Amino acid sequence: MKKADMITGVVLLALSGFAIQETWRMPASATFGPGPAFLPFWLAVILAIFATILFVSAWRRPATEEDHHSIFPGKTALIAITLVMVGLGLYIFLIEVVGYLADTFLFIVFLMKAVEREKWPLTLMVAVCTTALLFITFQFLLKITLPSNMFGF
C-alpha cells in the first residue's frame, strides 16, 4: 500500500495542477459574487494539500510486510477483468450499430463463453431469457425506445 499511496498522491497532485490551470481560463464573475472559477480552483487547492499529506505520510511510514505485496490480483484474474471491461466497452460501442436485441444477446454469450467458459446450452438459455426479459420490460412495459440497427430491431 505504501508505494501505491505514493503513486496515488503524485497522480492526484498532477490532477489538481491540471484543474488549477484550467480555472485560469475561466471568465470573471458577472455578479457581485464569485465567478465560475471560484469553487473548482479552491477544490483543486484542497486536493493538492490532501494529496501532499497522502504522499508524505506514506513516504515516512516504515514499510510493513503487507507493503511488499502488490495490491492487484494475479494474471488470470486480471485477464478476466480485462475481458469483462472489453466486452462491456464493445457492447456500448456497438449498441447503435447492431441494435439492442442482438447486441445484448451477443454480450451475454461473450460473458458466459469467453469469460466464464460455460457450456453452450446454459449460455444460450441465459442469453435468450435475459435479453427477452429486459426488452419486454423496458420497451413494452415502460415504453422506452431502445437503440435499434438499420434493419429496425
Q: Which of residues 3-32 bind another protein (CB under 8 A)?
A: 4-5, 8, 12, 19, 22, 26-27, 29-32
CA–CA gap between residue 130 and residue 112 (Å, rounded): 13
Establish if 130 lies at the interface with another protein (CB under 8 A).
yes
Q: By C-beta, is 62 or 91 nearer to another protein?
A: 91
CA–CA gap between residue 70 and residue 117 (Å, rounded): 27
Q: By C-beta, is 62 or 81 nearer to another protein?
A: 81
Number of residues engaging another protein in binding (CB under 8 A)? 82
Question: Which residues, numbered 104-123, are part of the site for another protein (CB under 8 A)?
Answer: 104-105, 107-108, 111-112, 115-116, 118, 120-122
Q: By C-beta, is 14 or 26 nearer to another protein?
A: 26
DSSP 47-106: HHHHHHHHHHHHHHSPP-GGGGS-SS--HHHHHHHHHHHHHHHHHHHHHHHH-HHHHHHH
Residues in the chain: 153
- Residues with Cβ within 8 Å of residue 98, at least 6 apart in sequence: 106, 149
* Shortest reach from residue 1's CB to another protein, in Å: 7
Residue span 70-109 as binding mask against another protein, x where in contact by CB under 8 A, dash where not:
-xxx---x--xx--xx--xx-xx--xx--xxxx-xx-xx-
Establish if 44 lies at the interface with another protein (CB under 8 A).
yes
CA–CA gap between residue 85 and residue 80 (Å, rounded): 9
Among 2, 10, 50, 114, interactor with another protein by CB under 8 A? 50
Confirm if 19 and 47 have CB atoms less than 8 A apart.
Answer: yes
Establish if 38 lies at the interface with another protein (CB under 8 A).
yes
